[in-house]
Structure 1
């Protein structure tokens, strides 16, 4: 049963909380406010997870990976059926500790390999490339709008731009952006969703294809040493051994999903919220820094990565609750950005908010997202370019009711429908 969000204060709403329900997905904020106020560390019987919703508690967990380990960060939300596991096994699929789920001594070295390709210097150098790709995609979108009167900027722009940028930065070819997007989205849905068996089997087949393609790419021996794959192949573990293929593939899987799917979700939300904000669309193309400020506020209020998981390494007290060793935590990143103890009037999107960079949308500490600078830059470039190329568009009728991605850790509009007045 899905409890209506507007009735969240009645009775015992937390007993009816459904993290996958349409009420929560469409308007999670009343639920998150109730959690912060009444049960900041709350055991959710539907998932078996402890929901951690206050900013100070979420930040404490992120900054102490020894007490709150990342081992479960990429586990399937629910046990996968035997038939699904067989499909994955036939493809050789495995998810060893690599980046987000790695609490071992190998993590710092692997993180350095990744951050080398997404540091501030490389991102700044890539801005003209991002702008060129955005211009190309938006020119096609404008033509479609001129001819048809309306268009969806999610599938034609928000999804495609980060995928093409990632392929350019990492030197990936031999596969189409559409295929990479399909594989990446399937991985998110399979491991973070709650799908019926037949759908899980379809997703597992796509994830298996993705894994086999990544394995072939890593082992193919054709990557140059200065490419991302080449750097992984040349990497040595703390004991001097070369990086094993499964871990290298695990790193690639995480980078590809984070670099394209979640960034596409961010761009989708940024565009949708900008179009809905009176007067913003006409300003964002001409006001210096407004696109960047808007992106930062969207990251605070509506991050694409809404939650993340940790597991307690030992018995620990958190938010007034005694947790045993092995307790599975769900950090409510979405809720932490709306904590009124940290952000005044958190429900309002206020560009240039003084303390906005304190948000936890990219995590914190040693597991903070290494692609944060690239994601911010792509979203700001995308917003500015869209406002410049399509100055007369507005949200299409029914746009606020667009379908939403509602996975355990990912949330975004799946359609950015726009129209142009005649």
Structure 2
């Protein structure tokens, strides 16, 4: 199975015939059943997160030197941290993403969405027009970080995703190392200049987190915290618009949120995540040695028929669709889950209110971002139809 191109049929075959399967090309053990994936995520002692942020394709020496000249380093911080420092660092970041703070951002997300929708008419691609930059703006505001060139941030973050999770050649690695190094250098300078203000950078300095560790933490936080929401928005638009009359129902109480959960269950932007065994373990009857690198198939687990009835059907009314593992599980559960859910729900509902007759411009499958752990449509071409009068709900 091609780990960068697999589909639902491949995942179904894995669950049914080889739920713990060693991939000969990468050496990764693919774990595809819901119970096994959840068990690995729930037990960081036996299934350590140390390899979670390792480059899929090892970075060669010349490229490492480009990164080293920028002071680039990725010490254990959040996603890859199995040490005792994880809990304090997580609590520090979580202060900016409490349920109350996230809920208070709802009107701001709606405002930003409406501003972007005001610019649209006729044909549009909702990826650049709406989904690409909005999550970055929201995340930066949530973290209190100001004076950021969002265009530069998006260029840095997309390059970093490809460098660490792409099936890339040495030549492409050299190209991607420049933006990744520039991002890390910018983070380090901003953190060193922080004066104990009310943003994340200031909080890290006030807590005494060394600049090297703080830059490593912020590097992937500012990437994953908005790139995956961009990907989720594109996936949500495609999924809802492909399924009958769902678009016309998005103003029903709770319906947009339920659609988002179904997309997270079936087509999550984070499709896989990695762990490494700390001791010999057994999963689905397969004995694994200590040090075995695992690839947890998050997307495949969301279609496990042992957990979800008729799992291939898109069903927003499904009573247990929130049981998916799209945001992980246990002590490393995604800190931004609430913010991502809020953004997807609000953006989806506001778009349907403004353009009640919106439809996909083509029945052809969209081009996809295909990285080891990230997958989503790269475009959402639509015909907008006539906008609803301001203040009028969708039909």
Q: What TM-score do you get using the length of structure 1 for normalisation?
A: 0.89
- Find the aligned partners of 1:188 and 1:259 in 2 and give their Cα distance: 12
Pairing partner for 2:346 from 381, 396, 399: 381
The aligned residue for residue 366 of structure 2 is 402
The aligned residue for residue 223 of structure 2 is 257
- Find the aligned partners of 2:196 and 2:226 in 1 and give their Cα distance: 21
Secondary structure of residue in 2 paired with 1:117: coil
Query: What whole-Å deviation, never above 9, does each CA across 1:299-337 have from its counterpart, x for those lacking one?
Result: 011110000000000111111111111000000000000
Q: Give 1:361 shift.
A: 0.6
Counting only pairs closer than 5 Å after superposition, residues 44-193 of structure 1 correspond to structure 2 as 44-140=23-119, 142=120, 145=121, 149-193=122-166
Pairing partner for 2:210 from 240, 244, 253: 244
Pairing partner for 2:331 from 366, 371, 379: 366
- Find the aligned partners of 1:263 and 1:420 in 2 and give their Cα distance: 22
Pairing partner for 1:335 from 300, 311, 315: 300
Contact 1:152/1:418 (CA < 8 Å) preserved in 2? yes
The aligned residue for residue 273 of structure 1 is 239
- Find the aligned partners of 1:420 and 1:41 in 2 and give their Cα distance: 45
Query: What whole-Å deviation, never above 9, does each CA across 1:8-53 have from its counterpart, x for those lacking one?
Result: xxxxxxxxx11123xx2xxx11100110011100000121100000
Secondary structure of residue in 1 paired with 2:59: coil
Secondary structure of residue in 2 paired with 1:199: helix
- Find the aligned partners of 2:161 and 2:83 in 1 and give their Cα distance: 24
Query: What whole-Å deviation, never above 9, does each CA across 1:102-130 have from its counterpart, x for those lacking one?
Result: 00000000010111111101011111111
- Find the aligned partners of 2:262 and 2:4 in 1 and give their Cα distance: 25
**Aligned-residue CA RMSD (Å):** 1.2
Query: What whole-Å deviation, never above 9, does each CA across 1:246-283 have from its counterpart, x for those lacking one?
Result: 11111111211121100110011001111111111121
- Find the aligned partners of 1:114 and 1:221 in 2 and give their Cα distance: 16
The aligned residue for residue 197 of structure 1 is 170
Contact 1:18/1:46 (CA < 8 Å) preserved in 2? no
Query: What whole-Å deviation, never above 9, does each CA across 1:93-152 have from its counterpart, x for those lacking one?
Result: 111000000000000000101111111010111111111111111111x2xx2xxx3111
Query: What whole-Å deviation, never above 9, does each CA across 1:235-254 have from its counterpart, x for those lacking one?
Result: 2xxxxxx3111111111112
Contact 1:158/1:267 (CA < 8 Å) preserved in 2? yes
Secondary structure of residue in 2 paired with 1:401: coil
- Find the aligned partners of 2:175 and 2:57 in 1 and give their Cα distance: 17
Secondary structure of residue in 1 paired with 2:160: helix
Contact 2:196/2:206 (CA < 8 Å) preserved in 1? no
Contact 2:355/2:385 (CA < 8 Å) preserved in 1? no
Aligned residues: 386
Secondary structure of residue in 1 paired with 2:124: strand
Contact 2:165/2:371 (CA < 8 Å) preserved in 1? yes
Contact 2:195/2:205 (CA < 8 Å) preserved in 1? no
- Find the aligned partners of 1:301 and 1:401 in 2 and give their Cα distance: 16
Q: Give 1:233 shift.
A: 1.2
The aligned residue for residue 392 of structure 2 is none
Whether 1:231 aligns to 2:195 is no
- Which 5+ residue runs of structure 1 have no aligned equivalent? 1-16, 236-241
- Find the aligned partners of 1:32 and 1:349 in 2 and give their Cα distance: 17
Pairing partner for 2:2 from 6, 18, 37: 18
- Find the aligned partners of 2:57 and 2:355 in 1 and give their Cα distance: 42
Q: What TM-score do you get using the length of structure 2 for normalisation?
A: 0.95
Secondary structure of residue in 1 paired with 2:294: strand
